[in-house]
Amino acid sequence: MTSSDQPEQDPRPRRNRLDLEPDTVERDLVKLVLTVVELLRQLMERQALRRFDVGDLSEDQEERIGLTLMLLEERMAELRDRYGLRPEDLNLDLGPLGPLLPRDGG
């Protein structure tokens, strides 16, 4: 093969290129969505605990909120398992700001 038969080499570094494999894109998208849902779940849980502590809710409301949060957590676990993700995989590193989610998950 002569040098004219070979495609030209791009002189720029390849580190800026994305790996756009269909399986990777789907898993990364699911990871991002689950991260946002987990953040919202934790915020809702904290707000519910505050309202429980203040006595702001009826027993029926407390039970419904508790059941809803429990079911959401179970569904999140199912989706993480389906896509081979661990809870810590959803915790984005925000650099100098630290992790997005508390390390203890709560």
| pLDDT (tens digit per residue) in 58-81 | 999 999 999 999 999 999 999 999
Tell me if 70 is assigned to some domain: yes
98 assigned to some structural domain = no
Domain of residue 37 covers: 24-86
Query: From CA 94, how far away is CA 31, in angstroms rounded?
Result: 16
Q: Report the C-alpha dihedral over residues 7, 12, 13, 17, rounded to 10 degrees.
A: -80
pTM above 0.75, yes or no: no
97 lies in some domain: no
Whole-number pLDDT of residue 26: 84
Total domains present in the chain: 1
Q: At what angle do helices 59-82 and 22-54 cross, to 10 degrees?
A: 160
